[in-house]
Amino acid sequence: MNMTKPMIVKQTVMLAAAAALIGGNVVAADMAPLPLKLPIPAFMGTPTDMELGPNVEPLSDKPRAPFMAPQGVKNLAAGKKVTSSDKSPITGSLELVTDGDKEADDDSFVELHRRTQWVQVDLGQKAKIYAVVLWHAHNTYQVYHDVIVQVSDDPDFTTGVKTLYNNDFDNSSGVGIGTDKEYFEDYQGRLIDAKGAEGRYLRLYSRGSTYSALNRYTEVEVWGTPAE
């Protein structure tokens, strides 16, 4: 113990010049926690009995750790144009996906038909993306199926497609098998690490939830910087 102590002190001093300690983690000085504005939690407590597959992430009662991204990143999806596989949503309109309203209210989401559907956000230009944050619906406990998030420069997603997230473990949506976890919706949304992937268009798939066969989208945020 006594022998290792001086070494740790030395490392800390060296790192202090180019880094900060945030949430117990050493972080480069040009990084900062993503400035997310979260909606009001709509429910508390534990889920009622629900039949869940083996692919569901256990519920956590802790808030999500801050996500570190380069300073100055913005939500590039704000107010941007949204298109969809569903040309006539059941309720709401596609603009609701990027209008900034993430609350769990009945007029805050667009509701698409059953089976696999997608929404697509056009960022307007190519961007370097660090995080995608997605709220389907957080009015009650539920797990969405076949959550797939892809980025491309091709609006038709036929070429240059990068998959950022895919939890369609049985390929029921036909986009390919994914190994990511299913998860419970909540007010924090799902934050997906995009690791600096580049592209202009984001496409987000789903195939109903444990609550409903329909597909709700409350908000999509795409945090990044315009690409050079």
The contact set with Ca ion (CB under 5 A) reads 96, 99, 101, 146, 168, 170, 172, 219
CB of 58: closest distance to Ca ion in angstroms? 19
CB 199 within 8 Å of CB 160: yes
What separation, in Å, do the N-terminal and C-terminal C-alpha atoms of the chain show?
A: 49
CB of 161: closest distance to Ca ion in angstroms? 19
| Nearer Cβ to Ca ion (32/180) | 180
CB of 149: closest distance to Ca ion in angstroms? 15
Q: Is 120 helix (H, G, I), strand (E, B) or coil?
A: strand
Q: CB-based burial of residue 126 (10 Å sphere; 0-12 exposed, 13-18 middle, 19+ buried)?
A: middle
d(CA 189, CA 220): 9
Q: Is 8 helix (H, G, I), strand (E, B) or coil?
A: helix
Q: 93 vs 17, 113, 200, CA distance in Å?
A: 49, 13, 22
Tokens of 202: 């984001």
CB of 99: closest distance to Ca ion in angstroms? 5
| Nearer Cβ to Ca ion (65/78) | 78
Q: 103 vs 64, 100, 122, 200, CA distance in Å?
A: 18, 9, 23, 27
SS3 content of the chain, % helix, strand, coil (to 5): 5, 40, 55
User: In this chain, which residue has its C-beta nearest to Ca ion?
Assistant: 172
| Nearer Cβ to Ca ion (32/214) | 214
CB of 172: closest distance to Ca ion in angstroms? 4
The CA-based diameter of the chain, rounded to the nearest angstrom, is: 69
CB of 67: closest distance to Ca ion in angstroms? 20
Tokens of 203: 């496409």
β-bridge partners, 169 = none
